[in-house]
């Protein structure tokens, strides 16, 4: 038996009705396949918060200005942000990663490629060379985290304007209109939502991203943090580390990774269903069902780390002594359903 089959065998011998922990059982089996061992361990885990700025903010697509990216990134690096507080509950380490912020912040992992993207309503957001560099950076970061002993990685992001970029990418990748997929991000007014849709429409028209080339889509209407996260998902596959998808921005990056290499999906774990309209379509495209439906839209990796305590609880049962043999009772067996 391979690692996944051995993990399923273990679940089937835990003293409980078969498959009664549902999606949590399936995630543990999936992690066994990623780690290539039925002895699933996620004791050391971290969240990588990829940070960058976006030139499209000049179009009035966000409630706050680009200066907020640096302020929040600073609080993440200092350990006081929302993601740090939530991650502390599950003893998850938090790393802020500068992929392309307008202002450098001390205490971050410095992977800065440029001082933010260009305004995608006027030209391509980045060059292809920059995007490929960002993707390689994400892949390498996962390798570095594994070398440091991390067994599970959650993805997060911070970048004012990045719901605009990610929605533009989703429109291009899924062949949908901005009217179908554009949400309010961090709380846009009706007028702001109209500006956001208009900016996405103009960016798609100006750049004509190639749906068959995910790197071209990233280059023309994406962002440095999105490219870094796409690399992280590819890194999960390369290095055998499970990587958790957060909300819609992280999910768009996961979709890019899947388009680059379909096998990358095997190292991805879903977490929650973001309230952004594109999320349902992206999850369907990835063949995944989120575990949490909490109407979250905070970002930073908060939805991804919210999954970790559930995994911990499932693993307590998985590794526990409560088996049919221990109780001296016959194991449950699959039963035919009656019409």
Is there a domain that residue 79 lies in? yes
Is there a domain that residue 15 lies in? no
* Selected catalytic residue, list 300, 326, 336, 337: 300
Domain range holding 153?
A: 45-307
Q: How confident is the model at residue 337 (pLDDT cuts 50, 70, 90)?
A: low
The CATH number assigned to the domain holding 252 equals: 3.40.50.10210
Is there a domain that residue 339 lies in? no
Is there a domain that residue 10 lies in? no
Q: For 254-282, how does the pLDDT look when each residue is reduced to its tens digit (9 = 90+)?
A: 999 999 999 999 999 999 999 889 999 99
Q: For 48-94, how does the pLDDT look when each residue is reduced to its tens digit (9 = 90+)?
A: 999 999 999 999 898 888 999 999 999 999 999 999 999 999 999 99
* Residue range 330-339: mean pLDDT, rounded: 66
Unique residue bearing structure tokens 């208009």: 198
Is there a domain that residue 92 lies in? yes
> Global pTM?
0.95
Is there a domain that residue 319 lies in? no
Q: How confident is the model at residue 339 (pLDDT cuts 50, 70, 90)?
A: very low
Is there a domain that residue 198 lies in? yes
Calculate ∠ Cα 39-45-49, nearest 5°: 145
Does pLDDT of 114 surpass 60? yes
300 is catalytic: yes
Q: For 130-143, how does the pLDDT look when each residue is reduced to its tens digit (9 = 90+)?
A: 999 999 999 999 99
User: With 0-12 CB in 10 A as exposed, 13-18 as middle and 19+ as buried, what is 162?
Assistant: buried
Distances (CA, A) of 151 to 45, 107, 137, 324, 325: 6, 23, 19, 29, 30
Helix/strand/coil percent split, the chain, to 5: 55, 10, 40
Residue 323 per-residue DSSP state: B
Is there a domain that residue 7 lies in? no
- Cβ neighbours of residue 170 closer than 8 Å, sequence gap 6 or more: 176, 181, 248, 252, 255, 278, 281, 282
How many domains does the chain fold into?
1
Poorest-confidence range of 119-123, 148-152, 269-273, 294-298?
A: 294-298
């Amino acid at each position: 038996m391979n690692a996944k089959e051995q993990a399923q065998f273990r679940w089937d011998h835990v003293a409980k009705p078969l498959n009664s922990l549902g999606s949590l059982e399936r995630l543990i089996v999936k992690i066994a396949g990623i780690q290539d061992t039925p002895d699933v361990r996620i004791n050391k885990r971290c969240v990588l918060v990829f940070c960058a700025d976006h030139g499209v903010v000049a179009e009035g697509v966000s409630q706050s200005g680009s200066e907020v990216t640096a302020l929040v990134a600073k609080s993440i690096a200092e350990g006081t942000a929302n993601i740090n507080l939530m991650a502390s509950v599950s003893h998850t380490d938090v790393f802020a990663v500068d992929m392309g912020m307008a202002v450098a912040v001390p205490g971050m992992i410095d992977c800065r490629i440029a001082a933010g993207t260009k305004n995608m309503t006027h030209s391509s957001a980045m060059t292809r060379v920059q995007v490929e560099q960002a993707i390689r950076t994400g892949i390498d970061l996962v390798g570095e985290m594994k070398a440091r002993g991390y067994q599970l990685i959650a993805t997060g992001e911070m970048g004012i304007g990045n719901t605009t970029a990610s929605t533009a990418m989703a429109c291009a990748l899924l062949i949908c209109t901005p009217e179908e997929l554009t949400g309010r991000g961090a709380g846009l007014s009706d007028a702001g939502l109209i500006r956001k849709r208009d900016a996405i429409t103009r960016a798609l028209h100006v750049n004509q991203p190639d749906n068959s080339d995910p790197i071209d889509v990233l280059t023309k209407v994406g962002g440095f943090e999105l490219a870094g996260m796409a690399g992280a998902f590819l890194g999960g596959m390369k290095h055998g580390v499970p990587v958790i998808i957060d909300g819609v921005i992280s999910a768009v990056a996961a979709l890019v990774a899947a388009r680059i290499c379909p096998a990358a999906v095997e190292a991805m774990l879903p977490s929650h269903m973001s309230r952004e309209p594109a999320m349902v379509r992206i999850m369907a495209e990835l063949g995944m069902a989120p575990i949490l439906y909490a109407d979250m839209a905070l970002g930073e990796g908060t939805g991804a780390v919210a999954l970790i305590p559930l995994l911990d609880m499932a693993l307590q049962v998985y590794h526990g002594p409560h088996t049919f043999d221990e109780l001296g009772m016959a194991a449950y067996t699959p039963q035919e359903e009656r019409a």
